[in-house]
């Protein structure tokens, strides 16, 4: 009875089932050979063939799963290797950033600059908020970066926000972030404040920040939490604020355009960067540094500045300050025929103006600034975006300056 064909088939099916349960896979062709003999009832034969097909599919599925596991292991190894490489590169980048923004990179030997650098070095390790004041182009962001990258927060982000360049309609979402679905097609994103978590938030032209946003920023600084637009969830924040402005914020407070309580919250310490015309002794050093930079960038041999041209650089009012001097030297290097920058290589404002008289200085400075903007617009053929780039500012910043100078 035991050796009947039916029992042989059942024994084979039991053996296959045991193999499958133990994770052993083999050939199942003999099951199909047995059923082909026609010696089994149709229902039994059909059952045996279905069982055989199931075994084949289980084996194929297990084989594929093993392949997927191997692929996942290989991917995990690649990700781990990439993560380690990224960590090394990130560490190297942070070291390079610290080397790129040492306080020694701030050019100048004048007493005003040396005293300012010393003060910045002393506060770098503190938690104090900082207000950096100074005219456009004096290097406020350079000081801010030097403070950040020489502080305990140097391994965390330095996030710069130009308050004059962001339209008021999107300022809140840019600063605080926004939740998905607040408006049609809006995706969730984090704002500048949250991006600076653990690091430094640099608010350039903070005097341009809308009053409504000033109140919300004050709340963030006081409560150390923020809420994204469209959310009621408080998100903890830990950051240092460095604000910069070319305005007198005390006058803005008197006019009602800047909050006094925010001012005192930001004003842990103030650094005033003097304009270039107040430290003419630094012009030679800075000009030669820029000359070396742009000469190397353009593949030129070592260059020099003729005595007459250097005297003109010293005597100019520099309404655009260090940034304008940088642009001037870049332009002169591009135009110079030989290895010497001469008077003819200088721009029209420098050739037409040499000194800043004691009387009427502010008026003359304003005229120089107008002349500088007019020249940039002329070179950009009236394109304000390109003119703003030449002047080292945003299009919105240029628009506001044109309005302030009565040029619109």
Q: How far is CA 139 from CA 40, 218, 245, in A?
A: 94, 26, 11
Tell me, what's the pLDDT at 28? 67
SS3 readout for 351-365: HHCCCCCCCCHHHHH
Tell me, what's the pLDDT at 223? 92
pLDDT at 99 exceeding the cut of 70: no
- Dihedral of the alpha carbons of 357, 361, 363, 365, in degrees to the nearest 10: 90
Task: Categorize the per-residue pLDDT at 16 as very low, low, confident or very high, splitting at 50, 70 and 90.
Answer: confident
Give residue-wise pLDDT tens across range 204-241.
999 999 888 899 999 999 999 998 888 888 999 999 99
Average pLDDT of the residues of the chain: 84
The more confidently predicted of residues 18 and 222 is 222
C-alpha span between 54 and 20 (Å, rounded): 10
Q: List, in order, residues 6 or more apart from 195 with CB less than 8 Å away.
A: 157, 159
What 3-state DSSP class applies to 130? strand
Task: Categorize the per-residue pLDDT at 366 as very low, low, confident or very high, splitting at 50, 70 and 90.
Answer: low
Tell me, what's the pLDDT at 358? 43
Between strands 235-236 and 240-245, the pairing is unpaired
CB 207 within 8 A of CB 94: no
C-alpha span between 250 and 84 (Å, rounded): 50
pLDDT at 362 exceeding the cut of 70: no
Give residue-wise pLDDT tens across range 310-353.
999 999 989 899 999 999 999 999 988 889 999 999 998 888 86
What 3-state DSSP class applies to 108? coil
Give pTM, 2 decimals: 0.65
β-bridge partners, 132: 244, 271
- Average pLDDT for residues 99-128, to the nearest whole number? 85
Task: Categorize the per-residue pLDDT at 134 as very low, low, confident or very high, splitting at 50, 70 and 90.
Answer: very high
Tell me, what's the pLDDT at 1? 47
Tell me, what's the pLDDT at 360? 46
Question: What are the structure tokens assigned to 206, written together?
Answer: 């903070």
- Of 45, 55, 61, nearest to 19 by C-alpha is 55
Tell me, what's the pLDDT at 240? 95
- Dihedral of the alpha carbons of 383, 384, 389, 395, in degrees to the nearest 10: -150
């Amino acid at each position: 009875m035991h050796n009947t064909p039916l029992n042989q088939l059942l024994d084979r099916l039991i053996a296959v089932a045991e193999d499958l349960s133990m994770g052993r896979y083999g050939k199942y062709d003999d099951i199909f050979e047995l059923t082909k003999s026609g010696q089994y009832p149709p229902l039994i034969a059909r059952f045996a063939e279905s069982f055989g097909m199931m075994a084949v599919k289980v084996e194929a599925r297990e084989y594929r799963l093993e392949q997927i596991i191997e692929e996942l292991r290989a991917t995990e190894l690649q990700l781990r290797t990439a993560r380690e490489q990224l960590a090394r590169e990130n560490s190297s980048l942070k070291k390079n950033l610290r080397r790129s923004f040492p306080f020694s990179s701030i050019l100048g030997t004048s007493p005003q600059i040396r005293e300012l650098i010393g003060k910045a070095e002393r506060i770098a390790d503190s938690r104090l908020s900082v207000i950096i004041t100074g005219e456009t182009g004096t290097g406020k962001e350079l000081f801010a970066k030097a403070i950040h990258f020489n502080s305990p927060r140097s391994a965390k982000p330095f996030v710069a926000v130009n308050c004059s360049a962001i339209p008021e309609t999107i300022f809140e979402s840019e600063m605080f972030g926004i939740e998905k679905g607040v408006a049609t097609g809006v995706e969730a994103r984090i704002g500048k404040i949250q991006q600076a978590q653990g690091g430094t938030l640099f608010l350039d032209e903070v005097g341009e920040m809308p009053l409504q946003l000033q109140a919300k920023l004050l709340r963030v600084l006081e409560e150390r939490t923020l809420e994204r637009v469209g959310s009621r969830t408080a998100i903890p924040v830990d950051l240092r604020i460095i604000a910069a402005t070319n305005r007198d914020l005390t006058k803005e407070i008197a006019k009602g355009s800047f909050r006094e309580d925010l001012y005192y919250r930001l004003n842990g310490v103030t650094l005033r960067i003097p304009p270039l015309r107040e430290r003419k002794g630094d012009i030679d050093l800075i000009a030669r540094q820029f000359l070396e930079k742009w000469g190397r960038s353009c593949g030129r041999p070592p260059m020099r500045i003729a005595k007459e041209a250097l005297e003109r650089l010293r005597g100019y009012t520099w309404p655009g300050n260090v940034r304008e001097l940088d642009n001037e030297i870049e332009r002169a290097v591009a135009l110079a025929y030989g290895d010497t920058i001469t008077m003819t290589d200088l721009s029209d404002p420098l050739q037409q103006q040499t000194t800043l008289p004691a009387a009427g200085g502010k008026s003359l400075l304003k005229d120089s600034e107008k002349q500088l903007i007019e020249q940039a617009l002329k070179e950009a053929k009236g394109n304000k975006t390109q003119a703003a780039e030449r002047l080292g500012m945003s299009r919105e910043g240029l628009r506001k300056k044109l309005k302030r100078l009565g040029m619109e």
